[in-house]
Structure 1
């Protein structure tokens, strides 16, 4: 079975989700399944609901349902598995989900601010680049050409063969 392409979504439910669009294109071109991950944890919601576990559970289910509906609308007819996480420690939750999936590629939306900031990575980007068990593609909102060009950096020191020089 082909390893999946994973799209990590922005936490804003109404955002355009460029990582999803681009991961969808890559998965379709590679004939690979698409997995979608979003951490929907909201500390503001937890504070608003209070300590009542039943109310927290109901709010969490409502938010998860809204994410499933939103992602299904963005995907259209293309099927993809949607994982809505509820993790206070976002990076730990992402790490566990990615390790469980063993993907061929992780696609994540990075900063779209000024021209200078576009060339900087967020702390989440760096954590994914350093710890993901596969390549990580950081994308912007700008549309791709019909056949995109991807520049990849490789770490030759992590291969199977050892060099005794």
Structure 2
């Protein structure tokens, strides 16, 4: 069961509204033990480091002054959210790569989860993920919750986008982790849980290359395999069949569609943390799903994942 007693919240420097902080307080307030919320911000101004008119000490003093101003601002905007029974602190660091600063703080503080707001495009009703968001989703060792709205909708559901058709050890471990995380969240946020899986469409070129191939038989076999695997997963975790959805199609199409139908306020996804050229040219199925989801997203890494920014592995 997920604890979420040490929560790192990334502040949005461009807004007085902080949906990530509100969601963090929602989670922390439902904890059965004392929770600690760190309101965190990474700032950097190139001009403070480049000016030759100031000494090193003067530049350091100016940076400290900027940091203190930001800390004061963060404490002020956090007042309406902070609860008496939750340990709350603010930290501002000077770093030119926000995602590296955030992940360094996760390792230093042993945080259970990172919560960050996303930009919502009002015209297109879509969520815009920044480069910092993507780096966190790929490289952060702890779960990352991307928050869209402050308010938690009435009669909401939380979906776990499970991958039951695979026998890959990482996928199977992620399925269990996603269900456990979803259980914790539905208890805390008062939502209905659902397990959702998409199975592939029969490739059209097969029927052309193999005239004797029966696409309906193949499709039925694939669907049967996924239904059987979903049954095993739901029974393992004590879920009723009514709380499962298995549909044909690409996950990036099926999951957002089901999320809209079931009034999902959050979708839990697993991501392998792919980096480098494979991330640029191939991407993750999870990332394609995230692009199309218009609600909160919780991204998990597989068991044994090692972040490329882990200080223990740094050379």
| Both structures adopt the same fold (TM-score exceeding 0.5) | yes
**What is the deviation of 1:88?**
2.3
Moved over 6 A (4+): none
CA deviations on 1:82-121 (whole Å, 9 max, x unpaired) are 2122222222211211221222221110111146472442
Give the structure, 1 or 2, with the largest relative contact order (CA under 8 Å, sep 6 or more).
Answer: 1
Aligned: 1:75 with 2:82? yes
Give structure 1 stretches of 5+ with no counterpart: 161-165
The answer (yes or no) to whether the contact 1:4–1:104 under 8 Å persists in 2 is yes
2:47 & 2:80 partners in 1: Cα distance? 24
**What is the deviation of 1:17?**
0.5
| Equivalence for 2:162 | none
Q: Which of 58, 61, 67 does residue 60 from structure 1 map onto?
A: 67
**1:84/1:68 Cα in 2 relative to 1: closer, same or farther (>3 Å)?**
farther
The answer (yes or no) to whether the contact 1:102–1:133 under 8 Å persists in 2 is no
Aligned: 1:18 with 2:35? no
**What is the deviation of 1:44?**
7.6
Per mean C-alpha deviation after superposition, the further-off stretch among 146-155 and 83-92 is: 146-155
Aligned: 1:159 with 2:166? no
| Equivalence for 2:37 | 34
Aligned: 1:143 with 2:144? no
Q: TM-score, normalised by structure 1?
A: 0.75
2:83 & 2:302 partners in 1: Cα distance? 39
SS in 1 for 2:270: coil
| Equivalence for 1:163 | none
| Equivalence for 1:86 | 94
Query: How many corresponding residue pairs?
Result: 157
The answer (yes or no) to whether the contact 2:127–2:148 under 8 Å persists in 1 is no
SS in 2 for 1:141: coil
CA deviations on 1:16-41 (whole Å, 9 max, x unpaired) are 000000011011213432222112x2
1:55 & 1:116 partners in 2: Cα distance? 41
Greater fraction of residues in strand: 2
**What is the deviation of 1:66?**
2.9
1:2 & 1:90 partners in 2: Cα distance? 22
SS in 1 for 2:267: coil
**1:20/1:117 Cα in 2 relative to 1: closer, same or farther (>3 Å)?**
same
The answer (yes or no) to whether the contact 1:3–1:102 under 8 Å persists in 2 is no
